[in-house]
Amino acid sequence: MNLKELYQEIILDHGKNPRNLRKTENFNKDAKGHNPLCGDKVHVYLKLNENKKVEDISFEGQGCAISMASASIMTDLVRGKEEKEVKEIVNDFLEMIKEKNQLNNKILHEDEKTKLMCLSGVKNYPMRVKCATLSWHTLTSAINNSQEEINSETD
Amino acid sequence: MNLKELYQEIILDHGKNPRNLRKTENFNKDAKGHNPLCGDKVHVYLKLNENKKVEDISFEGQGCAISMASASIMTDLVRGKEEKEVKEIVNDFLEMIKEKNQLNNKILHEDEKTKLMCLSGVKNYPMRVKCATLSWHTLTSAINNSQEEINSETD
Amino acid sequence: MNIQNIKKEFPIFKNKVQNNDLVYLDSANSSQKPLVVVDRIYDFYTKEFSNVGRSVHYLAVAATNLYENTRISVQKYINAKEKEEIVFTKGATEAINLVASSFGQKYLKEGDEVLISELEHHSNYVPWHYLRKSKGIKIEFAEINKNGEISLEEVEKKITSKTKIIALTHLSNVTGAILPIKQITEFAHSKGIPVLVDGCQSAPHMKLDMQELGCDFYAISCHKMYGPTGLGILYAKKKWLEELPPYQGGGGMIGEVKKSGITYGDLPNKYEAGTMATAQVIAFNESIKFINEIGIKNIENHEEELIRYGEEVLRKNNSVKLIGSPKKRGAVLSFTIDGIHPHDIATILDEDGVAIRAGHHCCQILHDKLDLTASARASIGVYNTKDDFDKLNSSINKCKKIFNSK
Amino acid sequence: MNIQNIKKEFPIFKNKVQNNDLVYLDSANSSQKPLVVVDRIYDFYTKEFSNVGRSVHYLAVAATNLYENTRISVQKYINAKEKEEIVFTKGATEAINLVASSFGQKYLKEGDEVLISELEHHSNYVPWHYLRKSKGIKIEFAEINKNGEISLEEVEKKITSKTKIIALTHLSNVTGAILPIKQITEFAHSKGIPVLVDGCQSAPHMKLDMQELGCDFYAISCHKMYGPTGLGILYAKKKWLEELPPYQGGGGMIGEVKKSGITYGDLPNKYEAGTMATAQVIAFNESIKFINEIGIKNIENHEEELIRYGEEVLRKNNSVKLIGSPKKRGAVLSFTIDGIHPHDIATILDEDGVAIRAGHHCCQILHDKLDLTASARASIGVYNTKDDFDKLNSSINKCKKIFNSK
Ligand SMILES: Cc1ncc(COP(=O)(O)O)c(C=O)c1O
Ligand SMILES: Cc1ncc(COP(=O)(O)O)c(C=O)c1O
């Protein structure tokens, strides 16, 4: 285990000053996520334009450094992508966190991937994986516009 | 432990051929007893005359050799005694079975006491004490004419 | 593992009980425990103990993983479709109470019928009786045939348009009859009726396959399955666990809690309120490993041969009367002896170290039907041998001698 | 037994956890187990195992006696009037569910009120919520004062003519506040209202005297009290156990069972359906002996000093905010650190072997009230020392360094 890998500068920075922590005006998709065990909560707002491109994305919520950083980085990386691409990024990220050691998608630039890989430190902290994935699951749910609230418990 | 002490001739005899296994006609007191764990059942019938003397006593029921012999011997010894005396005998018996090693009452003759002491072998078989005492508790309940059924579990 | 040497895995047989070798024929009541299971409990408490699920520290994470590993082992062992279909309870009794309570609350109303059988253990009758009292439902009893079995036809006959659930034992703890659960379930489902199976007596002895069996609910008692006391399992098809209301309320089973209302957690958490039997769940994984290492098929063969032998021995003993003669008999042999009450039999046998059970075995309805107040029961586990039945038999002969029975 | 050496009785502290000495500050979640308790489980399973109550053979009789001996020990330990007032459950959660279900069924109807508090653990709220849903009762919340306490006056204020039962924690598992249960009970009884006490957090730490306390129901979690998992205790005044309907139905709790109806067994059997947690009950006797040998008064003194020390240490650490400042604090210290989420704290502490809990501790209502989503909690047992708080403190400083917090 390695705390330094978990709490990298980037994580601490995004955790302390999360980007896109607000509510998108005129959002047309949204979903809530919740981890009943620890009480972490996130609400993701999306504005897709007519071409199904992410015009804006934001989130509200409370949580640990990992979950805030994860949501912050996610919203940064996903803006401007098409719905299909977003789904691919999400899946790639979730697979990386759970099994693989790298990101395979062809959508993100190398520097974006490097940023995202900063979250891979949670792999050594199984109880914290949920913190890192909650906002991502919630994003999926927002895109699918499924009404049910995401419980990170199902991870 | 000693099986011979438990299954003395007298016990086996009374167990096999219980005396007073019938229903007293015109009984004026009765009670039912039951051991929920093993299913043993006994129904004691009493006929007290105007002087509160036991004119007749009988029982119906099913159970092991110990419980049948105990009911059989009990009914034999109690007939003709006064209510007060019956209570004393019952208490003396119950104390003997549970703690003491002898019978102290002045009502029964020595040979009657010897007969009753045959039941003392159950002292070495804690799970069987209930078999020996069920009919006695039921007799008490019949005398007190309390309506509730006796559960040997309360021993 | 060699089935002939299996007894060595059970430390209890190393010591004398009242100067006798223990002849343990009371496994239907509760089985003995192999050393691996006891060791696991010991190690968990002395080296790894923590509560599960709630803390993020190392011990808690490790314990949570161990706990969930058992769930996966159970899932695989009984071939459930998903691990969320495995709910840990304090025993089979609680598992059945859970279903009766939650199903009853949502789906049963006055006049509805629950179909059980005359073979049922009190644990599969009393919970339904509660609904009879609170909701005015009716309980119907499928009746035994002369072999002490419940046939498919009998169940079919007793189903009416009001039957809302069927709850049956898989293997009778008295007659040893194995019920045709698969066929019953198929028929029941064709009528849209769910089936609960009391698997207490089958689980330790038979290969279990929930997807093959098709039933909706299956209750297991871990302490009868070489596992620790205080633990049971409810298998339930996911759709039921999703649809039914939760049972007990408390920590760990909630989603969000507000003064005004509550949402419930995901499966199977929704049904696991409060601190669970952590150490027992973790140790039960060893019970499953133990069974798997021998192979349940090997256990089945061993026990089948054994019970056939026992049946033969007792049949040859005149004045012993076997209760039930099912075509396929599970690990149970109940009997009476003319002129000797089962309690007296058990006491005398005990003096020789032969442990059997005497009583109604929590089956008063069945004993009433058979016009018995009690019976004696010898039941086996993987550690028993033919020798045990020989000893049983010679102790029975001692009983007869004491009672001067022929 | 010397309280300074008590840690040696707990084998878990003999091994390193991830190369660190274990600093276990999560006892409010579950306590570690002294060797005597683990050994008892081991010996019971390996040398004496049998199910209780149901068979008459030697092992069964011995196990039954051991089982009942624990009941008597518990009775004496909490000074209950009679041993029949002690019911074994699978946990405190089940104990409270039992009361809510049985009491609710018999005595509660639409519009009735149940008074609980904002301090309650979900286990003392969700069971009452069920009655809100099924019966339309109302749940009232006594509110905390600024110290995180529930005062007698607040309870008095919230009682109305519709209040039918009061259910309160004895010691808050978050603020550490100890409630004036005796005074509350006296007042409640003067209005004819029974009182249930959630004793999960008090039982391991305080002298208990049911007759002195006067409450009607008291729920205990054995795994928090140096005992095995999967076991709890419900103390209930005999008159309630007599009057209330049984909870779960099954073997062992019945009187007579017929197709047409059922009568129930005597106390406490009526409430102990199915095979109980035999080994756990028997081992719990050792937990009580363990506590008695140290002396609960000595434990109280030791822990009081310790928690005062811990409080001081944390108060001195700027940016640590304690939750609640009750006049008399139990074995719990909850806190937050500005700018660092409790989950992050717990993870960083864990790296040093310091095990605390982070989250809402099953008290969402309270956290909502305090406008927190989560908190960190250090809680102690008899094995803790001042050194543990020093280590906690230096690990907290490490957190602050990582997070650049002042
Ligand atoms: C105050 C309080 N009440 C109730 C409970 C529930 O106890 P258990 O989970 O052992 O059933 C706990 C512990 O989790 C507690 O701290
Ligand atoms: C057929 C059957 N059903 C249910 C039970 C109840 O199981 P438990 O007592 O473990 O809850 C038993 C065992 O006692 C049983 O044999």
Residue C300: CA atoms inside 13 Å, Cβ hemisphere, count? 10
* CB of C200 closer than 6 angstroms to any ligand 2 atom: yes
- Please check whether residue B50 touches D, CB under 8 A: no
Specify whether D99 is located in the same domain as D110: yes
Residues of chain A with pLDDT > 90, as a percent, come to: 76
Same domain? C115 vs C44: yes
Could you tell me which of A88, C99, C357, C84 has the C-alpha nearest to residue D54?
C357
d(CA D38, CA D28): 20
pLDDT by residue (tens digit) across D60-113? 989 999 999 999 999 999 999 999 999 999 999 999 999 999 999 999 999 999
The pair of three-digit structure tokens given for residue C22, joined into one six-digit string? 């223990």
Q: Quick check: D148 and D175 in contact, CB under 8 A?
A: yes
Say which residue, A29 or B153, is predicted with more confidence. Answer: A29
Angstrom distance (rounded) from CA C131 to CA C96: 13
Residues D278 and D330 in one domain: no
Per-residue pLDDT, B153: 40
CA–CA distance, A73 with D306 (Å, rounded to integer): 43
Distance of residue C186 Cα from the nearest chain D Cα, in angstroms? 27
Tell me the residue type at C165. Answer: I
Average pLDDT score over residue span D223-227 = 98
D19 vs C: CB within 8 A: no
Residue D177 shares a structural domain with residue D250: yes
**Mean pLDDT across chain A:** 90
- CB nearest to D365's CB, from C12, C250, C257: C257
**Residue D336: strand, helix, or coil:** strand
Please report where in the chains the tokens 């508790």 appear, as a residue: B137
For residue A151, pLDDT over 70 is answered with: no
Q: Is the CB of C378 under 6 A from ligand 2?
A: no
Closest among C291, C278, C294, C283 to C38, alpha carbons compared: C283
A107 contact D CB<8A: no
CATH number of the domain encompassing residue D362: 3.90.1150.10
Q: Within a 10 A sphere around the Cβ of D328, how many other Cβ atoms?
A: 12
Q: Does A10 touch chain D (CB under 8 A)?
A: no
Measured in angstroms, how far is the CA atom of residue A101 from the centroid of ligand 1? 39
pLDDT tens string D274-332: 999 999 999 999 999 999 999 999 999 999 999 999 999 999 999 899 999 999 999 99
Q: Does D70 touch chain C (CB under 8 A)?
A: no
* Residue of chain D nearest B39, judged by CA positions: D256
Q: Do D61 and B127 touch (CB under 8 A)?
A: yes
Indicate whether D283 and D369 sit together in one domain: no
| Contact criterion met (CB below 8 Å) for C277 and C88 | yes
Check whether residue D156 and residue D266 sit in a common domain.
yes
The CATH number linked to D271 is: 3.40.640.10
Report the pLDDT value the prediction gives residue D198, as an integer from 0 to 100: 98
Residue at B10 is within a domain:
yes
Q: Which domain holds residue D317?
A: 3-30+295-404
| Residue C314: partners with Cβ closer than 8 Å, 6 or more residues away | C320, C322, C333, C335, C389, C392, C393, C396
Residue B102 lies in a domain: yes
Among C339, C358, C402, the residue with its CB nearest the CB of B7 is C402
What residue numbers bound the domain in which A50 lies?
Answer: 3-145
Indicate if C363 belongs to the active site.
Answer: no
Domain termination site, one of D276, D292, D308: D292
- Range C278-289 burial, b when 16+ CB lie within 10 A, else e: bbbbbbbbbbbb
Average pLDDT, chain D: 96
Q: What is the pLDDT of residue A127?
A: 81
How many domains are there within chain D?
Answer: 2
What was the pLDDT predicted at C112?
A: 98
Q: Do B153 and D53 touch (CB under 8 A)?
A: no
Query: Both D356 and D378 in a single domain?
Result: yes
A152 within some domain: no
Among the listed residues D27, D323, D53, the one whose alpha carbon sits nearest the alpha carbon of residue D203: D27
pLDDT greater than 70 at residue A147? no
Tell me, yes or no, whether A10 lies in a domain: yes
Residue holding tokens 């028929």? C187
A150: pLDDT strictly greater than 70: no
pLDDT computed for residue A155 by the predictor: 34
Tell me which of D29, D123, D150 to substitute to probe ligand 1's pocket, judged by most ligand atoms within 8 Å of the beta carbon: D123
Which residues 6+ apart lie within 8 Å of C76 measured at CB? Answer: none
Atom number, ligand 2, closest to the C-alpha of residue D274: 9
The minimal CB distance from C61 to the residues A37, A126, A151 is found for A126
Cα–chain center distance at C187: 24
Q: Is residue A83 part of a domain?
A: yes
Task: Write down how long chain C is.
Answer: 406
Measure the CA–CA gap between D77 and D210, rounded to whole angstroms.
9
DSSP character at residue D193: -
A-chain residues within 8 Å CB-CB of D404? 12
CATH of the domain at A61: 3.90.1010.10
CB contact under 8 A, C265 and A128: no
Q: Give a yes or no: residue B153 inside a domain.
A: no
**Which residues of chain C fall below pLDDT 70?**
1, 54, 405-406
CA distance C275 to D89: 12
Check the CA dihedral C275-C278-C284-C289 and report its sign. positive
Looking at the fold, whether C112 and C91 belong to one and the same domain comes out as: yes
C61 and C193 housed in the same domain: yes
**Quick check: D51 and D275 in contact, CB under 8 A?**
yes
The length of chain B is: 155
Of C235, C267, C292, which closes a domain? C292
Contact status, residue B16 vs residue C339, Cβ threshold 8 Å? yes
Strand duo C86-89 + C232-236: pairing: antiparallel
Per-residue pLDDT tens digits for D163-174: 999 999 999 999
Q: Is residue B26 part of a domain?
A: yes
Contacts of A65 in chain D (CB under 8 A): 340-341, 344, 403
Domain end marker among C271, C292, C313: C292
**Nearest CA distance, D91 vs chain C (angstrom):** 7
pLDDT digits (tens, 9 = 90+) for D12-48: 999 998 899 999 999 999 999 999 999 999 999 999 9
Same domain, C266 and C221: yes
Q: Are A46 and A29 in contact (CB under 8 A)?
A: yes
Query: Would B20 be classed as within a structural domain?
Result: yes
The per-residue pLDDT for range D43-68, each reduced to its tens digit, is 999 999 998 876 788 899 899 999 99
- Give the count of domains, chain B: 1
Q: What is the pLDDT of residues D154-164, one digit of tens each?
A: 999 999 999 99
Whether the pLDDT of residue B155 is over 50: the answer is no
Asked if D79 and D208 touch (Cβ cutoff 8 Å), the reply is yes
Judgement on whether residues D285 and D331 belong to the same structural domain of the protein: no
Per-residue pLDDT, averaged over B107-112, amounts to: 95
Q: What is the pLDDT of residues B32-68, one digit of tens each?
A: 998 876 778 899 999 999 999 999 999 999 899 999 9
Contact D381, D331 (CB under 8 A): yes
For residue A148, what pLDDT is reported?
54
The H or E element containing residue D327 is none
D177 and D245: one domain?
Answer: yes
Residues of D in Cβ contact (< 8 Å) with B38: 56
B–A touching, 3+ CB–CB pairs within 8 Å: no
Looking at residues D230-258, what average pLDDT do you find?
Answer: 96
Instruction: Give yes or no for a contact between A69 and A131, defined as CB atoms under 8 angstroms apart.
Output: no
3-class secondary structure per residue, C15-31: CCECCECCEECECCCCC
For chain B, what percent of residues have pLDDT higher than 70? 92
